[in-house]
């Protein structure tokens, strides 16, 4: 488990202050939106998928710094991946890519993973494409 003591490590801060791939993706063909029922943070992930591969990813997240950093790094993690590879990503991969998260912030990485799951599921339902669980 990628847990650190600092609330916001340097990579989290870097993604929070300079988030990658923010905004709507006009030609997205998979969108997932999730909300954490406790803190209320919302993450929306847009994907453009072609021939079983994620070509583009953007996000809009309304929440804490860690949830924005997690969404930002998630868009970098999924770009170029096959649906199978993306489907195998977890909140642990997100937290690791951020250099770790403090225990109370782990759920921010879960929010990002949930947004990815929701987008992949929406794509699967719409197209019938096989997506790893």
Enzyme catalytic residues: 39, 108
Site for ligand FES in 10-69 (CB under 6 A): 36, 39, 41, 63-64, 66-67
Query: Both tokens of residue 84?
Result: 């199978």
CA 96 to the chain's CA centroid:
13
Say how far apart CA 128 and CA 69 lie, in whole Å. 31
**Contact flag: residue 74 with ligand FES (CB under 6 A):** no
Instruction: Single out the segment in contact with ligand FES by CB under 6 A; choices: 3-11, 19-27, 88-96, 105-113.
Output: 105-113
Which runs of E-coded beta strand occur in the chain?
3-4, 30-35, 42-50, 53-62, 101-102
# of chain residues touching ligand FES (CB under 6 A) = 10
Q: Which residues of this protein are in contact with ligand FES, per CB under 6 A?
A: 36, 39, 41, 63-64, 66-67, 107-108, 111
């Amino acid at each position: 488990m990628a847990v650190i003591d600092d609330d916001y490590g340097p990579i989290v801060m870097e993604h929070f202050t300079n988030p990658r791939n923010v905004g709507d993706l006009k030609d997205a063909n998979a969108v997932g939106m999730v909300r954490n029922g406790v803190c209320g943070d919302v993450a929306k992930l847009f994907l453009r998928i072609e021939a079983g591969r994620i070509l583009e990813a953007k996000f809009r997240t309304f929440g804490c710094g860690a949830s924005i950093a997690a969404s930002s790094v998630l868009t970098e993690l999924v770009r170029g991946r096959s649906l199978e590879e993306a489907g195998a990503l977890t909140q642990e991969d997100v937290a690791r890519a951020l250099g770790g998260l403090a225990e109370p912030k782990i759920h921010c990485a879960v929010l990002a993973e949930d947004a990815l799951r929701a987008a992949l599921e929406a794509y699967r339902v719409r197209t019938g494409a096989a997506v790893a669980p």
